Chains A and B, each alone.
Chain A
Amino acid sequence: MPVASARSAVVGFGKQTAEGTALTVPKFETPMGGGFVGPERSTAELPWTNETQDSVGDYVERVGGTADLTLPVLPVSAGAILEGIFGSRTTSGAAAPYTHVFTPADTLPWMTLFYAQPGGNYWTVADSKLASWALSWSAGSPLEASVSGMGKTTTRAATKWGAPGMVEGVDPFFTMINATFKFDSGTTPATTTVRNIAAGSVSMNRNLDARQTDGLNYQYMAEQKRDIEVSLDDVVFESNDLINTIFTGSASGTSMSGTVVYGSFSVTFVGSDQAAATTRSLKVELPRVLWTIDQVPSADPGGATLTYTVTGRASKPTSGASVTATLVNGSAGTVY
Protein backbone atom coordinates (compact mmCIF):
# COMPACT_ATOMS: atom_id res chain seq x y z
CA MET A 1 0.00 0.00 0.00
CA PRO A 2 1.35 3.48 -0.78
CA VAL A 3 2.45 5.51 2.21
CA ALA A 4 -0.22 8.05 3.11
CA SER A 5 2.19 10.95 3.38
CA ALA A 6 3.99 10.32 0.08
CA ARG A 7 2.94 11.23 -3.41
CA SER A 8 4.09 7.96 -4.92
CA ALA A 9 1.48 6.18 -6.98
CA VAL A 10 0.96 3.66 -9.72
CA VAL A 11 -1.51 3.58 -12.56
CA GLY A 12 -3.23 0.86 -14.56
CA PHE A 13 -5.24 0.84 -17.72
CA GLY A 14 -6.72 -1.35 -20.39
CA LYS A 15 -9.28 -1.55 -23.13
CA GLN A 16 -12.76 -2.88 -22.41
CA THR A 17 -14.52 -5.22 -24.80
CA ALA A 18 -17.55 -2.95 -24.78
CA GLU A 19 -19.18 -0.08 -22.93
CA GLY A 20 -20.48 -1.31 -19.60
CA THR A 21 -17.95 -4.11 -19.36
CA ALA A 22 -15.41 -2.74 -16.91
CA LEU A 23 -12.09 -4.46 -16.45
CA THR A 24 -11.62 -5.93 -12.99
CA VAL A 25 -7.83 -5.83 -13.28
CA PRO A 26 -5.69 -3.64 -15.52
CA LYS A 27 -4.14 -4.99 -18.67
CA PHE A 28 -1.11 -2.85 -17.87
CA GLU A 29 0.32 -1.43 -14.68
CA THR A 30 3.08 1.14 -15.05
CA PRO A 31 4.96 3.78 -13.11
CA MET A 32 3.81 7.32 -13.68
CA GLY A 33 5.32 10.75 -13.94
CA GLY A 34 2.53 12.63 -12.23
CA GLY A 35 -1.16 13.37 -12.26
CA PHE A 36 -4.04 11.23 -11.13
CA VAL A 37 -7.06 9.15 -12.00
CA GLY A 38 -10.03 9.54 -9.75
CA PRO A 39 -13.43 10.79 -8.83
CA GLU A 40 -15.03 13.92 -10.07
CA ARG A 41 -18.14 15.32 -8.43
CA SER A 42 -19.73 18.65 -9.09
CA THR A 43 -22.03 20.29 -6.56
CA ALA A 44 -24.06 23.45 -6.63
CA GLU A 45 -25.99 25.60 -4.25
CA LEU A 46 -29.72 25.26 -4.31
CA PRO A 47 -31.11 28.30 -6.15
CA TRP A 48 -33.71 29.08 -3.52
CA THR A 49 -34.07 31.25 -0.46
CA ASN A 50 -36.33 31.36 2.57
CA GLU A 51 -37.05 33.71 5.40
CA THR A 52 -33.42 33.70 6.60
CA GLN A 53 -30.34 35.05 4.90
CA ASP A 54 -28.60 31.64 5.02
CA SER A 55 -28.04 29.32 2.15
CA VAL A 56 -30.79 26.72 2.17
CA GLY A 57 -28.49 23.92 0.99
CA ASP A 58 -26.74 22.25 -1.90
CA TYR A 59 -27.14 19.39 -4.33
CA VAL A 60 -24.96 17.04 -6.35
CA GLU A 61 -25.10 17.79 -10.07
CA ARG A 62 -22.96 15.01 -11.47
CA VAL A 63 -20.49 12.31 -10.53
CA GLY A 64 -17.94 10.67 -12.76
CA GLY A 65 -14.26 10.14 -13.22
CA THR A 66 -11.36 12.01 -14.68
CA ALA A 67 -7.78 11.28 -15.64
CA ASP A 68 -4.85 13.60 -16.14
CA LEU A 69 -1.61 11.66 -16.29
CA THR A 70 2.01 11.88 -17.27
CA LEU A 71 3.30 8.46 -18.23
CA PRO A 72 6.62 6.97 -19.26
CA VAL A 73 6.58 5.68 -22.82
CA LEU A 74 7.33 1.99 -22.41
CA PRO A 75 7.66 -0.53 -25.23
CA VAL A 76 4.46 -2.52 -24.67
CA SER A 77 2.08 -0.45 -22.57
CA ALA A 78 2.57 2.54 -24.87
CA GLY A 79 0.50 0.59 -27.37
CA ALA A 80 -2.53 0.55 -25.08
CA ILE A 81 -2.42 4.32 -24.75
CA LEU A 82 -1.91 4.75 -28.50
CA GLU A 83 -4.84 2.44 -29.18
CA GLY A 84 -6.93 4.43 -26.72
CA ILE A 85 -6.29 7.77 -28.39
CA PHE A 86 -5.90 6.72 -32.05
CA GLY A 87 -8.65 4.09 -32.06
CA SER A 88 -7.33 1.64 -34.66
CA ARG A 89 -4.49 -0.84 -34.40
CA THR A 90 -3.11 -3.04 -37.15
CA THR A 91 -0.80 -5.80 -36.01
CA SER A 92 1.44 -7.89 -38.20
CA GLY A 93 4.14 -10.43 -37.52
CA ALA A 94 3.95 -14.16 -36.92
CA ALA A 95 6.53 -14.00 -34.13
CA ALA A 96 8.42 -11.35 -32.20
CA PRO A 97 9.15 -8.64 -33.07
CA TYR A 98 5.60 -7.57 -33.82
CA THR A 99 4.64 -4.36 -35.58
CA HIS A 100 1.61 -2.44 -34.35
CA VAL A 101 0.46 0.45 -36.51
CA PHE A 102 -1.94 2.90 -34.90
CA THR A 103 -4.14 5.07 -37.10
CA PRO A 104 -7.06 7.36 -36.34
CA ALA A 105 -10.54 5.93 -35.94
CA ASP A 106 -13.85 7.70 -35.60
CA THR A 107 -14.70 5.67 -32.49
CA LEU A 108 -12.34 5.27 -29.57
CA PRO A 109 -12.32 2.20 -27.34
CA TRP A 110 -13.91 2.18 -23.92
CA MET A 111 -11.24 1.83 -21.28
CA THR A 112 -10.95 1.20 -17.57
CA LEU A 113 -8.41 3.33 -15.74
CA PHE A 114 -6.94 2.40 -12.36
CA TYR A 115 -5.06 4.49 -9.83
CA ALA A 116 -3.42 3.56 -6.56
CA GLN A 117 -3.73 6.92 -4.88
CA PRO A 118 -1.14 8.04 -2.38
CA GLY A 119 -2.64 7.14 0.96
CA GLY A 120 -4.13 3.85 -0.05
CA ASN A 121 -7.30 4.50 -1.96
CA TYR A 122 -7.65 2.48 -5.13
CA TRP A 123 -9.77 4.19 -7.75
CA THR A 124 -11.26 2.63 -10.83
CA VAL A 125 -12.79 4.76 -13.57
CA ALA A 126 -14.71 2.57 -15.99
CA ASP A 127 -16.36 3.38 -19.29
CA SER A 128 -13.65 5.93 -19.95
CA LYS A 129 -12.32 7.41 -23.14
CA LEU A 130 -9.04 9.17 -23.68
CA ALA A 131 -9.55 12.78 -24.66
CA SER A 132 -6.05 14.00 -25.41
CA TRP A 133 -2.51 12.74 -25.75
CA ALA A 134 0.82 14.47 -26.17
CA LEU A 135 4.13 12.74 -26.75
CA SER A 136 7.00 14.96 -25.74
CA TRP A 137 10.75 14.63 -26.09
CA SER A 138 13.72 16.58 -24.87
CA ALA A 139 17.42 16.16 -25.53
CA GLY A 140 18.95 13.34 -23.51
CA SER A 141 15.72 12.47 -21.71
CA PRO A 142 13.13 9.70 -21.64
CA LEU A 143 9.97 10.31 -23.64
CA GLU A 144 6.83 11.17 -21.73
CA ALA A 145 3.19 11.02 -22.67
CA SER A 146 0.59 13.36 -21.22
CA VAL A 147 -2.84 11.78 -21.29
CA SER A 148 -6.23 13.04 -20.26
CA GLY A 149 -9.52 11.23 -20.21
CA MET A 150 -12.94 11.08 -18.69
CA GLY A 151 -15.13 8.27 -17.50
CA LYS A 152 -18.68 7.53 -16.49
CA THR A 153 -18.34 5.26 -13.48
CA THR A 154 -15.91 5.71 -10.60
CA THR A 155 -15.49 3.28 -7.74
CA ARG A 156 -13.16 3.15 -4.77
CA ALA A 157 -11.61 0.11 -3.15
CA ALA A 158 -9.60 -0.24 0.03
CA THR A 159 -7.40 -2.96 -1.43
CA LYS A 160 -5.40 -3.05 -4.62
CA TRP A 161 -6.63 -4.64 -7.81
CA GLY A 162 -5.61 -8.20 -8.73
CA ALA A 163 -2.66 -9.23 -10.86
CA PRO A 164 -2.53 -7.10 -14.02
CA GLY A 165 -2.00 -8.55 -17.45
CA MET A 166 1.46 -6.99 -17.46
CA VAL A 167 3.45 -4.99 -14.94
CA GLU A 168 5.82 -3.15 -17.22
CA GLY A 169 9.09 -2.11 -15.68
CA VAL A 170 11.02 1.00 -16.57
CA ASP A 171 13.86 -0.61 -18.47
CA PRO A 172 13.97 -0.15 -21.37
CA PHE A 173 12.06 3.03 -21.99
CA PHE A 174 11.87 5.05 -25.19
CA THR A 175 14.36 7.88 -25.24
CA MET A 176 15.31 10.95 -27.26
CA ILE A 177 18.85 9.58 -27.57
CA ASN A 178 19.51 8.42 -31.12
CA ALA A 179 16.09 9.45 -32.34
CA THR A 180 15.78 10.01 -36.08
CA PHE A 181 13.93 13.12 -37.17
CA LYS A 182 12.75 13.73 -40.72
CA PHE A 183 11.41 17.11 -41.60
CA ASP A 184 10.41 18.64 -44.92
CA SER A 185 8.81 21.98 -45.53
CA GLY A 186 7.36 21.51 -48.98
CA THR A 187 7.23 17.80 -49.74
CA THR A 188 5.45 14.80 -48.33
CA PRO A 189 6.17 12.31 -46.81
CA ALA A 190 9.19 13.47 -44.87
CA THR A 191 12.50 12.22 -46.23
CA THR A 192 15.11 14.75 -45.10
CA THR A 193 16.88 13.71 -41.93
CA VAL A 194 17.62 16.61 -39.60
CA ARG A 195 19.70 16.71 -36.43
CA ASN A 196 18.86 20.11 -35.05
CA ILE A 197 15.65 19.60 -33.06
CA ALA A 198 16.33 19.73 -29.32
CA ALA A 199 12.80 19.25 -28.01
CA GLY A 200 9.22 19.05 -29.10
CA SER A 201 5.93 17.24 -29.00
CA VAL A 202 3.20 15.68 -31.07
CA SER A 203 -0.32 15.90 -29.74
CA MET A 204 -3.81 14.73 -30.55
CA ASN A 205 -7.01 16.08 -29.06
CA ARG A 206 -10.26 14.20 -29.72
CA ASN A 207 -12.49 16.99 -28.35
CA LEU A 208 -14.73 14.53 -26.54
CA ASP A 209 -18.32 15.61 -26.20
CA ALA A 210 -19.56 14.31 -22.85
CA ARG A 211 -23.17 15.02 -22.01
CA GLN A 212 -25.27 14.50 -18.95
CA THR A 213 -28.92 13.90 -19.65
CA ASP A 214 -31.23 12.00 -17.29
CA GLY A 215 -28.69 10.46 -14.95
CA LEU A 216 -26.13 11.43 -12.36
CA ASN A 217 -23.25 10.38 -14.65
CA TYR A 218 -22.42 11.32 -18.20
CA GLN A 219 -24.72 9.29 -20.43
CA TYR A 220 -23.21 10.26 -23.74
CA MET A 221 -19.56 10.52 -24.68
CA ALA A 222 -18.59 10.96 -28.30
CA GLU A 223 -15.53 11.79 -30.32
CA GLN A 224 -15.44 14.92 -32.43
CA LYS A 225 -12.88 16.54 -34.72
CA ARG A 226 -9.30 15.37 -34.37
CA ASP A 227 -6.78 18.12 -33.71
CA ILE A 228 -3.26 16.91 -34.43
CA GLU A 229 -0.38 19.27 -33.83
CA VAL A 230 3.38 19.14 -33.72
CA SER A 231 5.68 21.58 -31.99
CA LEU A 232 9.42 21.66 -32.58
CA ASP A 233 11.24 23.70 -29.98
CA ASP A 234 14.71 25.11 -29.88
CA VAL A 235 15.37 24.35 -33.55
CA VAL A 236 18.56 25.53 -35.22
CA PHE A 237 18.23 25.75 -39.00
CA GLU A 238 21.22 25.34 -41.25
CA SER A 239 19.55 27.26 -44.04
CA ASN A 240 16.57 29.53 -44.58
CA ASP A 241 14.85 27.07 -46.91
CA LEU A 242 12.06 26.17 -44.50
CA ILE A 243 11.33 29.78 -43.60
CA ASN A 244 11.39 30.77 -47.26
CA THR A 245 9.02 27.94 -48.16
CA ILE A 246 6.56 28.83 -45.42
CA PHE A 247 6.35 32.46 -46.47
CA THR A 248 6.92 32.35 -50.24
CA GLY A 249 5.99 28.81 -51.24
CA SER A 250 9.47 27.67 -52.22
CA ALA A 251 13.04 27.78 -50.97
CA SER A 252 13.95 30.26 -53.71
CA GLY A 253 10.70 32.26 -53.63
CA THR A 254 10.76 36.03 -53.44
CA SER A 255 7.13 37.08 -53.05
CA MET A 256 4.68 36.22 -50.28
CA SER A 257 2.59 33.21 -51.24
CA GLY A 258 -1.20 33.22 -51.21
CA THR A 259 -1.37 29.43 -51.21
CA VAL A 260 -0.44 26.89 -48.60
CA VAL A 261 2.52 24.61 -49.02
CA TYR A 262 2.28 21.39 -47.02
CA GLY A 263 5.30 19.76 -45.49
CA SER A 264 5.76 16.64 -43.40
CA PHE A 265 7.37 15.22 -40.29
CA SER A 266 8.39 11.92 -38.80
CA VAL A 267 10.38 10.81 -35.80
CA THR A 268 11.61 7.37 -34.80
CA PHE A 269 12.60 6.67 -31.22
CA VAL A 270 14.50 3.63 -29.99
CA GLY A 271 14.71 2.12 -26.53
CA SER A 272 17.11 3.13 -23.80
CA ASP A 273 18.97 -0.12 -24.41
CA GLN A 274 19.63 1.15 -27.95
CA ALA A 275 18.34 -2.07 -29.50
CA ALA A 276 17.81 -1.90 -33.26
CA ALA A 277 14.67 -0.14 -34.43
CA THR A 278 13.61 -3.39 -36.06
CA THR A 279 13.45 -4.90 -32.55
CA ARG A 280 12.02 -2.05 -30.52
CA SER A 281 10.98 1.38 -31.76
CA LEU A 282 8.26 3.97 -31.85
CA LYS A 283 7.74 6.00 -34.99
CA VAL A 284 5.28 8.85 -35.40
CA GLU A 285 4.55 10.15 -38.90
CA LEU A 286 2.59 13.18 -40.01
CA PRO A 287 2.60 13.12 -43.81
CA ARG A 288 0.77 16.41 -44.37
CA VAL A 289 1.67 19.31 -42.13
CA LEU A 290 1.08 23.03 -42.43
CA TRP A 291 4.15 24.53 -40.79
CA THR A 292 4.03 27.89 -39.05
CA ILE A 293 6.73 30.15 -37.70
CA ASP A 294 5.29 32.95 -35.63
CA GLN A 295 7.77 35.53 -36.83
CA VAL A 296 11.20 35.90 -38.29
CA PRO A 297 13.78 36.15 -35.52
CA SER A 298 14.67 39.39 -33.81
CA ALA A 299 18.18 40.67 -33.89
CA ASP A 300 20.23 40.01 -30.78
CA PRO A 301 23.31 42.11 -30.13
CA GLY A 302 24.44 39.44 -27.64
CA GLY A 303 25.04 37.07 -30.53
CA ALA A 304 23.01 34.19 -29.07
CA THR A 305 22.41 31.14 -31.25
CA LEU A 306 19.46 31.64 -33.55
CA THR A 307 16.76 29.16 -32.58
CA TYR A 308 13.19 28.78 -33.75
CA THR A 309 9.98 27.31 -32.47
CA VAL A 310 8.11 25.75 -35.35
CA THR A 311 4.56 24.49 -35.06
CA GLY A 312 2.54 22.41 -37.47
CA ARG A 313 -1.01 21.25 -37.91
CA ALA A 314 -1.64 17.87 -39.54
CA SER A 315 -4.47 17.25 -41.93
CA LYS A 316 -5.73 14.33 -44.00
CA PRO A 317 -3.57 13.55 -47.03
CA THR A 318 -5.12 12.36 -50.28
CA SER A 319 -4.48 8.80 -49.20
CA GLY A 320 -3.36 7.32 -45.93
CA ALA A 321 -3.77 8.56 -42.39
CA SER A 322 -3.29 12.05 -41.00
CA VAL A 323 -1.06 10.57 -38.32
CA THR A 324 0.44 7.12 -37.89
CA ALA A 325 2.27 5.67 -34.92
CA THR A 326 4.22 2.48 -35.48
CA LEU A 327 5.27 0.53 -32.41
CA VAL A 328 7.65 -2.41 -32.74
CA ASN A 329 7.95 -4.64 -29.68
CA GLY A 330 7.98 -8.25 -28.56
CA SER A 331 4.29 -8.60 -27.76
CA ALA A 332 1.53 -9.87 -30.02
CA GLY A 333 -1.64 -7.87 -30.51
CA THR A 334 -3.54 -10.05 -28.05
CA VAL A 335 -1.80 -8.26 -25.17
CA TYR A 336 -3.98 -5.25 -25.91
Chain B
Amino acid sequence: MPLVAKADVNEIYTGGQTFQFTDGTRQVSQAEADALARYVANGGPAKVEIEEQKTKKKGES
Protein backbone atom coordinates (compact mmCIF):
# COMPACT_ATOMS: atom_id res chain seq x y z
CA MET B 1 0.00 0.00 0.00
CA PRO B 2 1.40 3.48 -0.85
CA LEU B 3 2.83 5.52 1.99
CA VAL B 4 2.18 9.17 2.67
CA ALA B 5 4.48 11.40 4.73
CA LYS B 6 3.03 14.39 6.52
CA ALA B 7 5.29 17.17 7.81
CA ASP B 8 4.84 20.61 9.29
CA VAL B 9 7.68 22.18 7.28
CA ASN B 10 8.33 23.09 3.65
CA GLU B 11 11.36 20.94 3.01
CA ILE B 12 13.51 18.27 4.63
CA TYR B 13 16.86 17.15 3.29
CA THR B 14 18.13 13.96 4.85
CA GLY B 15 19.72 10.70 3.85
CA GLY B 16 20.79 12.15 0.52
CA GLN B 17 17.25 13.04 -0.53
CA THR B 18 15.22 16.22 -0.56
CA PHE B 19 11.60 15.94 0.52
CA GLN B 20 9.40 18.85 -0.44
CA PHE B 21 6.00 18.85 1.17
CA THR B 22 3.27 20.37 -0.90
CA ASP B 23 0.32 21.12 1.35
CA GLY B 24 2.22 19.29 4.07
CA THR B 25 2.13 15.85 2.48
CA ARG B 26 3.84 13.74 -0.15
CA GLN B 27 3.91 10.13 -1.20
CA VAL B 28 7.05 8.24 -0.20
CA SER B 29 8.55 4.85 -0.84
CA GLN B 30 9.44 2.51 2.00
CA ALA B 31 13.11 3.52 1.66
CA GLU B 32 12.15 7.19 1.87
CA ALA B 33 9.96 6.49 4.88
CA ASP B 34 12.94 4.78 6.52
CA ALA B 35 15.13 7.82 5.80
CA LEU B 36 12.55 10.10 7.40
CA ALA B 37 12.35 7.79 10.40
CA ARG B 38 16.14 8.06 10.82
CA TYR B 39 15.77 11.84 10.57
CA VAL B 40 13.29 11.84 13.45
CA ALA B 41 15.41 9.44 15.51
CA ASN B 42 18.38 11.78 15.15
CA GLY B 43 16.36 14.68 16.49
CA GLY B 44 15.09 16.31 13.32
CA PRO B 45 12.83 19.18 14.39
CA ALA B 46 9.94 18.61 11.98
CA LYS B 47 6.91 16.66 13.06
CA VAL B 48 6.79 13.82 10.54
CA GLU B 49 4.07 11.19 10.32
CA ILE B 50 4.07 8.26 7.94
CA GLU B 51 0.72 6.74 7.10
CA GLU B 52 -0.56 4.23 4.64
CA GLN B 53 -2.44 6.03 1.90
CA LYS B 54 -6.13 5.40 2.15
CA THR B 55 -7.55 4.40 -1.21
CA LYS B 56 -11.22 4.72 -1.96
CA LYS B 57 -13.02 1.58 -3.01
CA LYS B 58 -15.66 1.71 -5.67
CA GLY B 59 -18.89 2.80 -4.10
CA GLU B 60 -17.26 4.56 -1.13
CA SER B 61 -18.00 8.21 -0.69
Contact = CB atoms under 8 A, between A and B. Distances in A.
B14 A92 contact: no
Interface in B1-45: 8-16, 18, 38-39, 42-45
A40 B30 CA distance: 39
A330 interface: no
A29 interface: no
A70 to B, nearest CB: 25
A336 B18 CA distance: 10
A333 interface: yes
Contacts of A109: 13, 16
Given A101-B45, A103-B45, A105-B39, A87 B14 contact: yes
B24 to A, nearest CB: 11
A322 B16 CA distance: 20
B10 A93 contact: yes
- Chain A, interface SS category: loop
Chain B interface size range: 10 to 19
A295 interface: no
Contact of A104 (B11, B16, B43): B43
Interface in A87-135: 87-94, 101, 103-107, 109-110
Given A107-B15, A110-B16, A90 B9 contact: yes
A319 interface: yes
A333 B38 contact: no
A96 B47 CA distance: 22
B4 to A, nearest CB: 19
Residue with the highest number of chain B CB atoms closer than 10 Å, among A92, A93, A94, A319: A92
B46 A104 contact: no
B12 A105 contact: no
B11 to A, nearest CB: 4
Contacts of A324: 43, 45
Interface string A72-83: 000000000001
A321 B18 CA distance: 20
Given A106-B38, A322-B43, A89 B13 contact: yes
Contact of A333 (B10, B16, B44): B10
Contacts of B9: 90-92
A130 to B, nearest CB: 14
Contacts of B42: 88, 103-106, 321
A81 to B, nearest CB: 14
Contacts of A322: 43
B43 A321 contact: yes
28 contacts: A87-B14, A87-B15, A88-B14, A89-B11, A89-B12, A90-B45, A91-B10, A92-B10, A93-B10, A103-B43, A103-B45, A105-B14, A105-B15, A105-B39, A106-B42, A107-B15, A316-B43, A317-B43, A321-B45, A322-B43, A324-B43, A324-B45, A332-B10, A333-B10, A333-B13, A333-B18, A334-B11, A336-B13
